[in-house]
Amino acid sequence: MMNPEPNRRLCQLYHEGVVPYHIAWEWQQSVVARKKAHPETKDVLLLLEHPPVYTLGQGATTEFLNFDPADTRYEVCRVERGGEVTYHAPGQLVGYPILDLKHYQPDLHWYLRQLEEVVIRAIAPFGLQGERIAGLTGVWVDGHKIAAIGIKVSRWITMHGFAINVCPDLEGFRQIVPCGIRDRPVGSLAQFIPGISVSQVRHELVTAFAEVMNVSLIPANHSFLIEPASLA
């Protein structure tokens, strides 16, 4: 993972721990803007967790909230990704790939299926069989949705991404209809593998992402909170 492989695009890898949603969101926007202005800027994979927060896609309806969005007990963000409402909390591994799809395949459906494949391969070493459901984006295990995916693509540059429920408190999902799907439960990997940790899944996910996207991941030696000159 440390040494770039021939014929693979370089992608900068950041591990960030628990980061407030608005900070990670602003950082994604800044990298997208930089890549639009300077196409040579490296692609990025940002892996982190968020404090409890609900996010709504740009066209999402509030009818899938089981609370008043004006209630200040809940942090709610409407963002530019596709999809309905979802929930983030510690114990959930969130991945934000910022890629220029012109160097991969400029096809949104292809990209969504690739992200699903990354998750499926990442959980396979734990003996878990991830499944797709026709017409529904995401990954399921034994009928439980364990990974949500929502993206935004502008000039073929991606942002937002995927969220894998490793071992979060699932209680927060009771306040919403996750992804607008009423008849399929949300689950976590910990339901099937007690004691599983985010760091374990992150290790497998990094390997899976590199394989599926055919990239060489270059671990950053600093936090993304520091303006990363190394991206250029």
How do residues 100-146 score in pLDDT, each as one tens digit?
999 999 999 999 999 999 999 999 999 999 999 999 999 999 999 99
Indicate the pLDDT class of residue 73, thresholds 50, 70 and 90: confident
CA distance 117 to 94: 15
| pLDDT value of position 62 | 87
Cα 218–219–225 angle (5° rounding)? 125
Q: Mean pLDDT throughout 145-162? A: 97
| pLDDT value of position 224 | 65
| Helix, strand, coil percentages in the chain from 3-state DSSP, rounded to 5 | 30, 30, 40
- Measured in degrees and rounded to the nearest 5, phi and psi for residue 223 equal -80, 150
CA distance 65 to 175: 6
167 in catalytic set: no
The one-character DSSP state at 63 is G
Catalytic entry in 11, 77, 167, 179: 179
CATH 3.30.930.10 correct for 9-224? yes
Q: Is the pLDDT at 1 greater than 50, yes or no? A: no
| pLDDT value of position 200 | 98
Least confident of 13-17, 57-61, 98-102: 57-61
The one-character DSSP state at 186 is B
